[in-house]
Amino acid sequence: MNPVPPHQPPLAPPPPRPSPPAAAPPSCCAGLFQTVLHGWQDRFPLRSSPFYVMAASSGATPRELLATCERLQRSGALQPIRAHWGPALRRERWRLGFHAAPRATRPQAEPPEKSLAEELLALPGCMRLEHGTDQNGHAQLWVELEALDELRLQHQLDRLSLAPQYRLRLQTVQDTRPGPYDDEALASLVERGLPLSAGPYERCAQLLGRSERQVLAALRNWQRDGQLAHLSLAPTPTRSTRVGVLALWSTAIPGSACLHALQLHQGLQRLLPAEPTPQWPWRFGLVLEAAQTLADHQLNALLAQAGLCEPPDLRVSLRIERPREGALLFGI
């Protein structure tokens, strides 16, 4: 006869499964990310509480909108709130050329020196850097820089290990009205970018020891006068490299019909008419961007179409970098 088994306590019920995480509200989906990345590239509000204004058109609450912006900025996808200067702002744009020299040899224990290209890309006014090789295989560097005036241009050039061999002033904007150059503390802050917060202008005012009303009034005045185009909350730009060709003539002086034909070409980036000087010995030049294998062919076709039969004295194949969207003009 089998013994009676001892009494067994009932099994404990299994622990409850954790509830699935709540789904993100619709305002946190990819649609809001796209709205943040593209909705305020050229119209960030000049208002005391800009995220309340922006939330009205985004379908999100101000808190959700700000949190999304912070998340994108932490990931590197979104820039700070930044000023873009307008066409009326007083400044100068220059084109400079360098014969690229090889790096000097240094003892192994010493830190490596920067190349000239790295030095140029680090200049706050550098808008465009062209790595070139001329028809004789010689390396060159061409750069376009912006500065408030020639003195500040020279302050940037003093940082370089090599002085430019060629120098041409491309553009000068004159403006005698009060503007950002009379308030460089504020201009420098908004140019480099305001941090994200519910009250970015209030934080800016605190840093400057002013009232938020004074900061907003100054920015609105600059915008009214065309010195400030807008403030933006924009995605971080993708660094890209393009190719092209530079052509320079010492004696050619194209007529108006030729210039008009050249300007119609989609890839033309710049015409360079000039009075020759010791710092710029050419009367005419152009920069053309095109596909890697087509740049020289397109240049030949363009010159033939425009009726410019004289071959250029200097022809340089280019690899082009654009390190920033706008030059940093203040606080340098």
Mean pLDDT of 271-300: 90
Range of the domain at 51: 29-74
Q: Is residue 80 part of a domain?
A: no
Q: Which amino acid is at 199?
A: G
Pairing of strands 139-147, 82-85: unpaired
The DSSP H or E segment spanning 58 is helix 50-58
Question: How many domains, the chain?
Answer: 1
pLDDT at position 18, please? 46
pLDDT digits (tens, 9 = 90+) for 223-281: 999 999 999 999 988 877 889 999 999 999 999 999 999 999 888 999 999 999 999 99
CA pair distance 192, 247, nearest whole angstrom: 35
Q: Is residue 51 part of a domain?
A: yes
Q: Around 263, how many Cα atoms within 13 Å sit in the side-chain half-sphere?
A: 10
Asked if residue 232 lies in contact with residue 275, where contact means CB atoms within 8 angstroms, the answer is no
User: Which residues fall within 8 angstroms of residue 295, CB to CB, at 6 or more apart?
Assistant: 243, 244, 245, 288, 289, 317, 318
- Return the closest-CA partner of residue 97 out of 243, 267, 251, 287: 287
pLDDT digits (tens, 9 = 90+) for 76-131: 988 999 999 999 999 999 999 999 755 554 445 445 567 999 999 999 999 999 99
pLDDT at position 13, please? 52
Lowest mean pLDDT among 36-40, 170-174, 205-209, 289-293: 36-40
Q: Which backbone phi and psi does 66 adopt, to 5 degrees?
A: -65, -40
pLDDT digits (tens, 9 = 90+) for 55-74: 887 778 889 989 998 998 99
Going by pLDDT thresholds of 50, 70 and 90, the confidence category of residue 6 is: low
Asked if residue 144 lies in contact with residue 321, where contact means CB atoms within 8 angstroms, the answer is no
Beta bridge partners of 131: 141, 319
Pairing of strands 228-232, 82-85: antiparallel
Q: Is residue 54 part of a domain?
A: yes
pLDDT at position 202, please? 96
Helix (H, G, I), strand (E, B) or coil at 153: helix
Lowest mean pLDDT among 118-132, 215-229, 299-313: 299-313
Asked if residue 258 lies in contact with residue 307, where contact means CB atoms within 8 angstroms, the answer is yes
pLDDT digits (tens, 9 = 90+) for 24-49: 444 345 577 777 777 777 889 999 99
More confident residue, 14 or 122: 122
Q: Which amino acid is at 133?
A: T
CA pair distance 198, 65, nearest whole angstrom: 10
- State the average pLDDT for the chain: 86
Q: Tell the residue number behind the tokens 């995220």, with chain if given.
A: 51
> Residue 20: pLDDT above 80?
no
- Return the closest-CA partner of residue 265 out of 284, 245, 237, 242: 245
What is the side-by-side strand order in the sheet with 126-134?
Answer: 166-173, 91-99, 139-147, 126-134, 314-321, 241-249, 284-289, 268-271
Lowest mean pLDDT among 102-106, 173-177, 219-223: 102-106
pLDDT digits (tens, 9 = 90+) for 202-214: 999 999 999 999 9
Q: Is residue 56 part of a domain?
A: yes
Asked if residue 285 lies in contact with residue 272, where contact means CB atoms within 8 angstroms, the answer is yes
Q: Is residue 124 part of a domain?
A: no
- Return the closest-CA partner of residue 277 out of 32, 51, 95, 30: 95
Helix (H, G, I), strand (E, B) or coil at 206: helix
Q: Is residue 34 part of a domain?
A: yes
Question: How is residue 281 written in tokens?
Answer: 């010995």
Going by pLDDT thresholds of 50, 70 and 90, the confidence category of residue 16 is: low
Q: Which backbone phi and psi does 81 adopt, to 5 degrees?
A: -75, 120
Asked if residue 288 lies in contact with residue 243, where contact means CB atoms within 8 angstroms, the answer is no
**The CA-based dihedral angle spanning residues 291, 294, 300, 302, taken in that order and rounded to the nearest 10 degrees:** -50
Helix (H, G, I), strand (E, B) or coil at 117: helix
- Return the closest-CA partner of residue 242 out of 119, 123, 128, 328: 128
Question: Rounded to two decimals, what is the model's pTM?
Answer: 0.83
